[in-house]
Amino acid sequence: MNSRGGLEEMKALILKLEEKRMLDREEFVRLIGWRAARLGRAAGSPGEQEGSPVGSPLPDPAVAGKSTGGAAQNDAGKSTGGAAQNVAGKVTGEAARDVAGNVTGGAAQNVAGKVTGEAAGNFAGESTGQVAQKAVGNAAGGADGEGEALDAFLFDRADRVRKAIYGNKVYIRGLIEFTNYCRNNCYYCGIRRGNGRASRYRLTEEEILACCRSGYELGFRTFVLQGGEDPYHTDDRVVKLVAAIRAEFPDCAITLSIGEKSRESYQRFYDAGADRYLLRHETADDAHYRRLHPPELSLENRRRCLWDLKEIGYQVGCGFMVGSPWQTVGCLAQDLMFIGELEPHMVGIGPFIPHRDTPFAQCEGGTAEMTLFLLGVCRLMLPEVLLPATTALGTALADGREQGIKAGANVVMPNLSPGNVRKKYLLYDNKICTGDEAAESLQSLREHMAGIGYEVAVDRGDHKKYI
């Protein structure tokens, strides 16, 4: 068999995936690599292999030595205090010290305003600028039409599988981005603590309840509370908030997406009335994880959290960004293997999009095409999964949400946050927050979904195993 494989071989792999709901790792590599090659990402390199890049690829070692690490380090020394104050300004006591105490590295990037302090150090002299220069392109589609032919085949299979279980229903979740304070410093994220330019906010409990009330009126029966890991939001505060929402909206699902906590904390939130938890694993490849995060964060803990959440009884969502820097075909195969192992109820898959005030500012974003492809693959692996067409996909592609639904997604998460803070929850540049992305535009969303043959449901939209 030709190692690059032909269209028919890829279709056969898709049919096998549909039947078995799993492939082995080598098969995932072949399938993803084949599609990536037709986007120009994996092309040119040895072919559809493990190490072929999907995200901005590894910098050329010959030029990596010219990194800006040194300069950034100089700036880091001067900037620690200012940035710390910026992030910790509204945090009190212990929490402030905790944030401030850890902020040194992250500050570098704010002052340097170009490439990273901590990232440069962590990547052993590789600069993100070099990565951008080495990017192999972000082709909009396959030149030979074979890629699109495989997409059409996959999306048709995925659509059938989804319709057999959920019909043509699209489930909506009201997204309340209630705080953009974060103690973490993930290199890709616009609300990382080291971003001194972020305009920080947090909503009060009363403001959050007001969002739920207007969401309920609009027809939302799931509220997703998402935020950075904000030290102000102690377990006691989260428990009180969840209990208040549970008491006022007994017929609604409450989803939390507030990061890594202890098992005890997760249990307390669950006991207070939370039903679901979203925690993307980000990447299931340990070396890749370490390139996206500072040393204090680990894949091991992220995975521990997901297993704890599942054991407690939450409907659990993991997920990953497509095209994050240094992502390879092998990384994505690893993501799918992990998803097969965890069997989550939800999976969040969206393209990486750079944010100008992060260490990855100069990196190339992931493609909508590869994101759509992986949504289709995910639907075949987990027929009952609740799969959002993400805001990032809608940002990368004008009709990304509709395309996502057609590829196998069945969830959209319009923004219920108050209008004056929406632009502040800026995880990446140009994040959309108006138009159909806004909860108040639900009628328009309904019409767009009806236009492609789907119906927006007014119910909690639980995973089949929880109905």
Residues that bind ligand SAM (CB under 6 A): 188-189, 191, 226, 228-229, 257-259, 279-280, 282, 321, 350, 352-353, 355, 392, 427-428
Which one, 155 or 425, has the nearer CB to ligand SAM?
425
Which one, 166 or 223, has the nearer CB to ligand SAM?
223
Least spacing, CB of residue 303 vs ligand SAM, in Å: 13
Least spacing, CB of residue 44 vs ligand SAM, in Å: 25
Least spacing, CB of residue 431 vs ligand SAM, in Å: 9
Structure tokens at 324: 């994050």
Q: What is the CA radius of gyration of the chain?
A: 21
Contact present, 94 and 104 (Cβ < 8 Å) = no
Contact present, 188 and 292 (Cβ < 8 Å) = yes
Which one, 172 or 306, has the nearer CB to ligand SAM?
306
Least spacing, CB of residue 92 vs ligand SAM, in Å: 20
Q: Which positions ≥6 away from 161 have C-beta within 8 Å? A: 18, 379, 380, 383, 408
Least spacing, CB of residue 281 vs ligand SAM, in Å: 9
Contact present, 331 and 374 (Cβ < 8 Å) = no
Residue 327 zone, left/alpha/beta (φ > 0; ψ -120 to 50; rest): beta
Which one, 266 or 352, has the nearer CB to ligand SAM?
352
Element (H, E) at 320: strand 315-322
Which one, 225 or 456, has the nearer CB to ligand SAM?
225
Which one, 9 or 260, has the nearer CB to ligand SAM?
260
Which one, 328 or 390, has the nearer CB to ligand SAM?
390
Least spacing, CB of residue 227 vs ligand SAM, in Å: 6
Least spacing, CB of residue 275 vs ligand SAM, in Å: 17
Which one, 107 or 305, has the nearer CB to ligand SAM?
305
In 3D, which of 371, 274, 275 has the Cα closest to residue 319? 371
Q: Are strands 253-257 and 222-227 parallel, antiparallel or unpaired?
A: parallel
Least spacing, CB of residue 355 vs ligand SAM, in Å: 5
Tokens 């260490």, located at residue: 359
Q: Which positions ≥6 away from 211 have C-beta within 8 Å? A: 174, 176, 203, 223, 416, 417, 418
Least spacing, CB of residue 188 vs ligand SAM, in Å: 4
In 3D, which of 35, 6, 9, 8 has the Cα closest to residue 336? 35
Element (H, E) at 223: strand 222-227
What is the residue-wise DSSP string for 405-453? HHHT--EE--B-S-HHHHTT--SSTT---SGGGBGGGHHHHHHHHHHTT
Distance CA 382, CA 22 (A): 9
Which one, 16 or 290, has the nearer CB to ligand SAM?
290
